[in-house]
Every structure is written in structure tokens, then in C-alpha cells.
């Protein structure tokens, strides 16, 4: 029964699924205590793209890679885009970075100094120029802006400055381009953060217009936050633009999506399915935003993509008719059982068949290990400077 459902409706929906991987996940990363370098790490954006293409070839569902500027700055972005195409993928969202310069000690677009604000806004505008060259649809904005001490700056004035910068960048967007505003509860600012939650991001996006949408980074909430509620709410308002998927135990841990709480990922994907938002036409970018500090990176990214796919398959298996009936009848236990039945289904054998049916290896991680790709990059990338934050 499950198999029949799977091979029809579920596999049709899964065929349209897309997950975007982040260029920075292929590079060295770590904590403020230590970065453990690995072998075979990309030394430039081209090598990151080559790795991302391998993930796509093996999983079949990761055809785009997000860039981070300036980490992925090159002289010729059109050439980078052409290289990606040669490798079988496309460039995805452009992530701005207004958090690493000395000038940003007191903030970027909300800084009390208009000179710093100008510099930050100019960087965001430059990111739109880059989008024009790469053909990217999405500009992803995350601001580390905030304050550490009561009285340090005027909370309300900072909102005005933020709105002003966002307006200017919004006005620069092309017809098919979008602005994705990401929120984060805290860190690096600890007293106030200027975009701390989905409500703040939503209000700014609403004021800006239809090309401004909210990004949900799953690691950016207080413990216990019901993220699927946020998904349902924003979808209903047409204001959900993207996800930055990752897992957290404590704060912004950036661990592999679906590792810490696969049930939460399933509940999120159920709201996506419920909101008819899985296919690319719905316009939601399903991106990963992860750092692989101790685990081998390429297999970890493959694992993450597969975790999203597994959670999605389970979400698609929810018997929505039975669920609707139970909900209408107020049968709490029956409704919950429908959800749990889907979550507790082992979809791995079905997904293996699904991949085989598409000419892919049923086990992408085993296929990666067999491919010899790691030996190749370990040898080829022996010299030079490995990419990391700031590279």
C-alpha cells in the first residue's frame, strides 16, 4: 500500500524537489576555538563549485550552489557561472556579508555612522550587480547588527536605518530578482538584535513589497520554538522565500540538517507539502546553511541533502484525507496517529528504488566513496591556500 502510494503521487512530487548547497560548507570552518583543516579542501570558488556538482550528480536534487560575497569573489562572475553550467549546475542565491569588516563593530546598515551605513548598503547593491552577472534570482541578507548593552544605541532609530537601507536595495532589484531577509535571535549581538525574529523580518518585507521575502534559518530560534507554525503562517501570507537548513542542539550550531531533530524537519516539510510549496514553481528556495567542522564535508553534504529528501518523502506519505477526517471529527488521537504513521515509515528502501529508477546509485554516499573523487582532490589540491571564512 505504502509502496503504491510512493510510486505514484509521492515520487512525482519528489522528482521536482530541489535543495541548494552553500559554497562555504565545502570550505574549512570551525568554531572560535579551532578550525581543523581537512585534505582536499577547495582553494577557490571554482573548486567549491566542482564539489557542489559532485553532490548534484550523486543525489540528483542539488542543482544549484549559493555563493557568499566576498568569500566567493572572482574577477569574472559570468565566467564562474559558465563554469558551473559546464559542471552541470547553476549558481544560486548571493549571500551578502556585512559582518566581517572592522567598520562594522557597531553595526552595518544600522550603524550610527552614516559613512559605515553607506559602505554596507553599497555592498548590498554590489551583490545585486553580481546577481545580474550570475543570473541569480535571490539576494540573501543577514545582518549581525545589534547592541550589547542597554543604552548603547537607539533601538527605534536602528529600525529606521534598517528600513532605509532595505528600501534602497529593494529599489535596485530587477524584475525577476528577490530580496530574502534572514532573522536570527542573537549572536554576535547579545542585548538587542535588529532583525531578531520572523515577525520583524515579516514586517520589513511587508513594507518593502512582493519581492521581499523571509528566510527561515532553522538554527536561529529560541529553544522550543515551533518552526512549523512559522512556516505555515508565512506560506499563508506568501512571505516565505527560503530556508537555511541546519540542525541545532543549543544555538546556531550549523550541524547537518535532520541530524538533531528529524521529527522537526518532517513537521516543517509537512507544512510545505500542506501549503503546496515543494515544487520550484512555488518559489521557495530550500538551501542548506551548514558548517562541517569535524566530519568529512562532501559526504556530510550528501547526507544532509538525503535527510531533506527523506523528511520530504515522509511528509508526502501523510494520509491527508484521513487526517482531515480525524481533525473534523475532533479525534485527537486518530489525527496524531496519521502523522506518526507517516513519520515512522522507513522510506529508505523506497528512496533507493526511486534513485535507481532515475539512473542514480541507490546509495549516493557509498557511490561517493567508490568514485575516487576524494583521492583525486586530495592529490590535486595539495598546495595553495585552502578556502575558509574570509577566503
* Three cell numbers, residue 221: 530560534
Binding-residue total with ligand PSV (CB under 6 A): 8
Q: Closest CB to Mn ion belongs to which residue? A: 244
Among 244, 271, 310, 363, binds ligand PSV (CB under 6 A): 244
**Which among 141, 210, 199, 204 is positioned nearest to 175, based on CA atoms?**
210
Q: In angstroms, what is the minimal distance from the CB of 377 to ligand PSV?
A: 23
Among 47, 289, 310, 361, binds Mn ion (CB under 5 A): 289
Among 17, 95, 290, 386, binds ligand PSV (CB under 6 A): 95
Cα 208–Cα 106–Cα 291 angle in degrees, nearest 5: 75
Please report, as residue ranges, which positions from 236 to 265 form the binding site for Mn ion (by CB under 5 A). 244
Number of neighbours of residue 167 by Cβ within 10 angstroms: 16
- In the list ligand PSV, Mn ion, none, the entry touching 184 (Cβ below 5 to 8 angstroms by class) is ligand PSV
Assess 363 for contact with Mn ion (CB under 5 A): no
Contact 313, 350 (CB under 8 A): yes
Using the minimum distance from each CB to ligand PSV, give the nearer residue, 52 or 316. 52
Assess 289 for contact with ligand PSV (CB under 6 A): yes
**Which among 90, 79, 169 is positioned nearest to 122, based on CA atoms?**
169
Assess 217 for contact with ligand PSV (CB under 6 A): yes
Assess 184 for contact with ligand PSV (CB under 6 A): yes
Alpha helices in the chain (DSSP H): 2-5, 11-15, 45-59, 77-87, 114-134, 155-172, 198-208, 227-236, 262-274, 297-317, 320-328, 332-343, 348-357, 364-371, 373-380
The per-residue DSSP string of 115-126 comes to HHHHHHHHHHHH
Assess 138 for contact with ligand PSV (CB under 6 A): no
Assess 217 for contact with Mn ion (CB under 5 A): yes
Assess 182 for contact with ligand PSV (CB under 6 A): yes
Assess 271 for contact with ligand PSV (CB under 6 A): no
Assess 145 for contact with ligand PSV (CB under 6 A): no
Contact 196, 158 (CB under 8 A): no
* Site for Mn ion, rule CB under 5 A: 217, 244, 289
* Site for ligand PSV, rule CB under 6 A: 95, 142, 182, 184, 217, 244, 252, 289
Amino acid at each position: 500500500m505504502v509502496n503504491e502510494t510512493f510510486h505514484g503521487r509521492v515520487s512525482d512530487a519528489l522528482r521536482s524537489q530541489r535543495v541548494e548547497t552553500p559554497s562555504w560548507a565545502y570550505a574549512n570552518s570551525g568554531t572560535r576555538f579551532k578550525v581543523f583543516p581537512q585534505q582536499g579542501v577547495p582553494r577557490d570558488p571554482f573548486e567549491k563549485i566542482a564539489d557542489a556538482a559532485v553532490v548534484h550528480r550523486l543525489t540528483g536534487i542539488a542543482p544549484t550552489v549559493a555563493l557568499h560575497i566576498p568569500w566567493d569573489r572572482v574577477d569574472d562572475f559570468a565566467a564562474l557561472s559558465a563554469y558551473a553550467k559546464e559542471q552541470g549546475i547553476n549558481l544560486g542565491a548571493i549571500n551578502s556579508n556585512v559582518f566581517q569588516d572592522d567598520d562594522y563593530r557597531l553595526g552595518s546598515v544600522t550603524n550610527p555612522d552614516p559613512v559605515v551605513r553607506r559602505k554596507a548598503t553599497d555592498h548590498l547593491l554590489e551583490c545585486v550587480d553580481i546577481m545580474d552577472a550570475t543570473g541569480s534570482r535571490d539576494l540573501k541578507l543577514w545582518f549581525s547588527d545589534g547592541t550589547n548593552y542597554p543604552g548603547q544605541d537607539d533601538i527605534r532609530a536602528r529600525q529606521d536605518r534598517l528600513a532605509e537601507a532595505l528600501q534602497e536595495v529593494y529599489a535596485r532589484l530587477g524584475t525577476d530578482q528577490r530580496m530574502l531577509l534572514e532573522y536570527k535571535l542573537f549572536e554576535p549581538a547579545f542585548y538587542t538584535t535588529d532583525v531578531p525574529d520572523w515577525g520583524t523580518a515579516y514586517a520589513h518585507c511587508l513594507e518593502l513589497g512582493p519581492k521581499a521575502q523571509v528566510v527561515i534559518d532553522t538554527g536561529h530560534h529560541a529553544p522550543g520554538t515551533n518552526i512549523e507554525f512559522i512556516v505555515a503562517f508565512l506560506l499563508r501570507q506568501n512571505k516565505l522565500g527560503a530556508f537555511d537548513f541546519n540542525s541545532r542542539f543549543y544555538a546556531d550550531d550549523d550541524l547537518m540538517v535532520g541530524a538533531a531533530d528529524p521529527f522537526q524537519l518532517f513537521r516543517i516539510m509537512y507544512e510545505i507539502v500542506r501549503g503546496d510549496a515543494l515544487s520550484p514553481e512555488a518559489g521557495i528556495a530550500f538551501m542548506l546553511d551548514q558548517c562541517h567542522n569535524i566530519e568529512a564535508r562532501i559526504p556530510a553534504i550528501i547526507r544532509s541533502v538525503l535527510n531533506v529528501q527523506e523528511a520530504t518523502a515522509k511528509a508526502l506519505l501523510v494520509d491527508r484525507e484521513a487526517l482531515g477526517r480525524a481533525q473534523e471529527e475532533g479525534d485527537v488521537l486518530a489525527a496524531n496517529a496519521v502523522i506518526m504513521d507517516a513519520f515512522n515509515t522507513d522510506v529508505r528502501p523506497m528512496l533507493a528504488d526511486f534513485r535507481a529508477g532515475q539512473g542514480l546509485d541507490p546509495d549516493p554516499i557509498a557511490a561517493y566513496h567508490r568514485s575516487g573523487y576524494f583521492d583525486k582532490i586530495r592529490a590535486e589540491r595539495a598546495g595553495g591556500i585552502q578556502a575558509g571564512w574570509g577566503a
